[in-house]
Chains A and B, each alone.
Chain A
Amino acid sequence: MSFLFGSSAEIDIVLDGQASRKQAEIKTEDGKKEKLFLYYDGETVTGKVNITLKGKKLEHQGIKIEFIGQIELYYDRGNHHEFTSLVKELARPGELTQSTTFDFEFIQVEKPYESYTGANVRLRYFLRVTIAKRLTDVTREMDIIVHTLSQYPEMNNSIKMEVGIEDCLHIEFEYNKSKYHLKDVIVGKIYFLLVRIKIKHMELAIIKRETTGSGPNTFNENETIAKYEIMDGAPVRGESIPIRLFLAGYDLTPTMRDINKKFSVRYYLNLVLVDEEERRYFKQQEITLWRKPDKGATKKPGYVSFTPHSQQVES
């Protein structure tokens, strides 16, 4: 077709320092995983655009590169909400007579949100090179991944709560924090203050809730990310059961609240007790997940333990 629409060209985007840049995985819409280059908020994005001519020359109405951050709601495919859109002109309208390389540079780009692929929503960042032509533009997109990093939260109280069903079951649970980073470990304890039901086992689940839309058109999508048995058998009054759940092994993202007024991703710890008749008693608590900068390995050992601030309930 090139002879009809004028000779075409291949566009190739090469990021600076590609060889040493970290990559990260993200799900694509069809559920597969792909590895993309990883950027952080405020980081400059620089690179080169190689345009390889397929013919002798290429007439164009201008060449530009854009840096776009957008939210796609699956039920509203037509509308993409761009929250970031930066443009750099690479060439004024004219003619390329040979394959050319353009440098580009988006200095200290604001990347306020984390890349995300969910059940109903996707948040992506990509570079788009457009060679404007009279009939059809030639474009080339390249997705990158953005991780939003947080500092240690200043306030990070433990979650402690007494719950129960009157005269039936009374427990007190305690998670050591309310905010966990993605490689963190949840440590906690469950105290049984009163047990009159025949408990079979107890598990801790991590539930991800993705909320899209607003008002009456709010969609909630719950997904159980982890199901973790923490107790086998029936405890008696006075028992305290330890909890230790490593998060690194699960597919988690930071908590996202009201991202660009379009969606939220929240995480909950769901404590579930199952009795012998398979009845389930549960209590959900929201936890905040955040991404911690990778700074070498200052990992805690696998046997990190929890020092409860209160002693076991006297029997």
Chain B
Amino acid sequence: MPQTHQLSPQEEQEKLLDEAMQVVKVQSFQMKRCLDKAKLMDGLKHASNMLSELRTSLLSPKSYYELYMAICDELRHLEQYLHDEFQKGHKVADLYELVQYAGNIIPRLYLLVTVGVVYIKTHEANRKDIIKDLVEMCRGVQHPLRGLFLRNYLLQCTRNILPDCEESEEFGGTIKDSIDFILLNFSEMNKLWVRMQHQGHTRDREKREKERMELRILVGTNLVRLSQLDSMTQDFYKKNVLPGVLEQVVSCRDYIAQEYLMECIIQVFPDEFHLQTLNNFLRACAELHKQVNVKNIIIALIDRLAMFAHRDDGTGIPNDIKLFDIFSQQVATVIQAREDMPTEDIVSLQVSLINLALKCYPDRVDYVDKVLETTVDIFNRLNLQRLESSSAVNKELARLLKIPVDVYNNLLTVLQLDHFSPLFEYFDFESRKSMTAYVINNALDNNMYIPTQKQVDSILTLVSPLIQDQNDQPQEEEDPEDFAEEQTMMGRFINLLFTDDPDQQYLILTSARNHFGNGGNRRIKYTLPPLVFNAFKLAYRFKEVAEEDDKWDKKCQKIFRFCHQTIGALIKAEYAELSLRLFLQGGLAAGEIGFENHETVAYEFMSQAFSLYEDEISDSKAQLAAITLIIATFERMSCFGEENHEPLRTQCALAASKLLKKPDQCRGVSVCSHLFWSGKTIESDGKEIRDGKRVMECLKKSLRIANQCMDNSVQVQLFVEILNRYIYFYERGNEQVTIQVLNQLIEKIRDDLPNLEGNEETEQINKHFQNTLEHLRMKQESPEPDGPTYEGLVI
């Protein structure tokens, strides 16, 4: 049984196209043969037969296009032949009339166009009348596909021969005739193209729209052709071209066409033309079909003009064109005219406006603010609530607000935008926070100092999601690492709150203190310490200007009160170690600055540190670390008189000896020894007190404590450490330390070391010891001239 093979639509198309191509091949061959033999009428007959293939309704646009291209190729032969004949003077009378006897309209009009072009090229007839006639006669083809291609043929053939001058040469016509010609062709083509949308079954809509997209270039070519007219001027464009084009675009009421053509207009005509016709163009935008994405069109235009304003060779935007005002006004009209425009699109438009303002008028901050104000107004009118961070509007709004941040790279300029921060209110918590972080990061990246209290106040108000808890904050705790990173960033930012004017700086600090003080226990750990440090720094600065500012003493006291109180906040939040360190730092600073009353202040800070040590620090390791720090700080200070120094150093020694663990006691006491050597008092006139006896007592005491240690390994380690201190003081010239004492201790260590278990720890202790001995050996071999002698030392 024979199988009937069902052709797929694609195979069907190929077959149809193939058949048509065969006919074209045969007929064009015949045509050329007849032309070679100078049988014009027969040649025309074959040309007409060939052209009849274009009458088909069976081909898809793609196949039809292929067929069309093949036929156009062949028609060029005919045109060339006629052209040559006419040039040679072999004119065929009434040829233009003759081809009109063809009974079918498609072949007739293709031939008419071909002959018409030959007439024009050989100056056989009035160019202006011919093009007018051709474009009029093409109305006879109302079938969209066939009409589009016919008119495209017309447009292609007349490409280089359209009148293109302002003054008519004889009867050749002027650019006005060309404009009329192309505009008419454009309107007719667009109508045909739009009509495709409404033909056929609704279920094929998608396919149809795809086909239309394939054909759009045919319509757009008209606009390209208009733009290629050399004598086109702005004036012509404004008066004769654009109104006609827009009228057609608006009245066709087809969103595919409108979207494409508006884009086309923007792309094909020069920026200078657009600048002259902004109002017209934008007004038309407001009238487009509601499905048209007007936003994209306007954005495309803005982007183009913004680029134009930036072009190196360009003259920029002419002064008489209030580009921003026009756009601002027209965009508002568009938004008003299109009630169903998605809010995110409205915001996108504002994004473009802001881009325009920034690119074309970089110094007009008020323009940027105007855009933001408009946005606020629109949001108010829409009665918008908090925007979900995942929503499109939210994303657009974030984009809008990031632009001034990114472009200015100057937080202070951003602060001049009155309507910048109100827009933050529309973000939900999450995006508000990320937006504020964005602002802060920008300031950090650009090392942007914030020099006045007022500015500091507005910024910190703006970024309050990073500073304190918010009403709309989610219940769950955030990721601790993220939180730490965020707050560290704020800590860095505090360093940017800086001005050269110390008084202003003080105001800045107090203002910042007020904001950050509300941060809650979790945040102040990160934010208050930098404030305190900045306050100390400020006190140093006041000291520098002491000669110019007679109130500097008072101011410094105020600063230390401020610090004291700030540290107090940290204590309340139970950050004892942190507070302790800050107190120590404060004591040190107060001592160094030496303002009136500084000793009392330093003493207060030190005693605060002590009480923190005593009341709040319970972990033994922390205690050792803390007392070491206190002792070390105290050792550095020289502001105390004996009256204050004595109780403090006694307190240190006492505290050290009261440590819980023996090794800690041992170490603490041995550290204390330094207080008696390099400590300074007012009485010592800033020089080290060098109380060798007391040093020795400390060291002996620590040795005693070491002896009490049960763990051999730890004990030997402590011995080595104490030996090092002995050596230190010996080298510093403490006469209480003798070679004998050293020898004794070295021997003791030598005896004990071998008894230790062989492990890594022992290895380290041994190494420490050997290094110490090596140091002594070197000193022994080459003693320093003014150093002590090592005679009698047994190594």
Contact = CB atoms under 8 A, between A and B. Distances in A.
Interface of A: 201, 227-236, 239-242, 244, 246, 248-249, 299, 301-303, 305
B210 to A, nearest CB: 21
A239 B133 contact: no
Interface string B125-149: 1000110110011011111101100
Given A302-B96, A303-B130, A244 B147 contact: no
Contact of B137 (A232, A244, A249): A244
Interface in B632-674: none
Contacts of B136: 242, 305
Interface stretch (B97-105, B452-460, B617-625, B675-683): B97-105
B55 interface: yes
Interface string B95-120: 11110110111101000000010000
A31 B130 CA distance: 40
A239 B139 contact: yes
A232 B143 contact: yes
A231 B133 CA distance: 16
13 contacts: A227-B103, A229-B104, A230-B140, A231-B105, A232-B105, A233-B141, A239-B139, A239-B142, A242-B136, A242-B137, A302-B98, A303-B130, A305-B136
Contacts of A246: 97, 100-101
Contacts of A249: 101
B101 A233 contact: no
A236 to B, nearest CB: 6
B96 A303 contact: yes
Contacts of B137: 242, 244
A233 B96 contact: no
A241 B133 contact: no
A232 B140 contact: yes
A242 B104 CA distance: 14
Contacts of A235: 142
Contact of A303 (B106, B133, B139, B143): B133
Residue in B105, B125, B146 with the greatest tally of chain A CB atoms within 10 Å: B105
Contacts of A230: 105, 140
A64 B191 CA distance: 74
B140 A301 contact: no
B142 A232 contact: yes
A241 B55 CA distance: 18
A233 B139 contact: no
Interface in B79-102: 94-98, 100-101
Nearest to B129: A303
Given A232-B143, A248-B97, 11 more contacts: A229-B104, A232-B105, A233-B141, A239-B142, A242-B136, A302-B94, A302-B97, A302-B98, A303-B96, A303-B129, A305-B129
Given A301-B125, A303-B129, A241 B142 contact: yes
Nearest to A228: B103
Nearest to A234: B142
A241 B139 contact: yes
A6 to B, nearest CB: 55
Contacts of A229: 103-105, 108
B100 A233 contact: no
B139 A232 contact: no
CB-based closest 6 A-B pairs: A233-B143, A302-B96, A302-B97, A233-B142, A303-B133, A235-B142
Contacts of B100: 244, 246, 302
Contacts of B125: 301, 303
A232 B130 contact: no
Contacts of A231: 105, 140-142
A305 B129 CA distance: 9
Given A233-B146, A301-B125, A242 B140 contact: yes
Nearest to B132: A305
A232 B146 contact: yes
A229 B101 CA distance: 10
B139 A234 contact: no
Contacts of B103: 227-229
A233 B133 contact: no
Contacts of A232: 55, 105-106, 140-143, 146-147
B395 interface: no
A23 to B, nearest CB: 21
B208 to A, nearest CB: 15
B410 to A, nearest CB: 57
Nearest to B116: A303
B195 interface: yes
A302 B95 CA distance: 8
B112 to A, nearest CB: 9
A229 B142 CA distance: 12
B97 A240 contact: no
B423 to A, nearest CB: 46
B139 A242 contact: yes
Nearest to A227: B103
Contacts of B144: 233
Contacts of B129: 301, 303, 305
Contacts of A301: 96-97, 125, 129
Nearest to B192: A233
A301 B116 CA distance: 12
Contacts of B139: 239-242
A236 B195 contact: yes
Nearest to B145: A233
Contacts of B146: 232-233
Residue in A236, A246, A302, A305 with the greatest tally of chain B CB atoms within 10 Å: A302
Contacts of B142: 231-236, 239, 241
A234 B196 CA distance: 11
Contacts of B147: 232-233
Contacts of B101: 246, 249
Nearest to B137: A242
Nearest to A185: B97
A246 B99 CA distance: 11
A299 B97 CA distance: 11
A304 to B, nearest CB: 9
A241 B195 contact: no
Contacts of A302: 94-98, 100
Nearest to B194: A236
Contacts of B195: 236
Contacts of B143: 232-234
Contacts of B132: 305
B49 to A, nearest CB: 15
Residue in A246, A248, A303, A305 with the greatest tally of chain B CB atoms within 10 Å: A303
Contacts of B140: 230-232, 241-242
Contacts of A248: 97
A248 B139 CA distance: 24
Nearest to A226: B103
Contacts of A233: 141-144, 146-147
A301 B137 CA distance: 15
Nearest to B251: A315
A182 to B, nearest CB: 15
A218 to B, nearest CB: 32
A160 to B, nearest CB: 19
Interface in B185-207: 191, 195, 199
A246 B95 CA distance: 13
A198 to B, nearest CB: 9
Contacts of B199: 234
Contacts of A305: 129, 132-133, 136
Interface in B129-171: 129-130, 132-133, 136-137, 139-144, 146-147
B135 to A, nearest CB: 11
Nearest to A297: B93
Contacts of B97: 246, 248, 301-302
A125 B128 CA distance: 49
A303 B120 CA distance: 13
A239 to B, nearest CB: 6
Contacts of A303: 96, 116, 125, 129-130, 133
Residue in A201, A227, A299 with the greatest tally of chain B CB atoms within 10 Å: A201
A247 B136 CA distance: 20
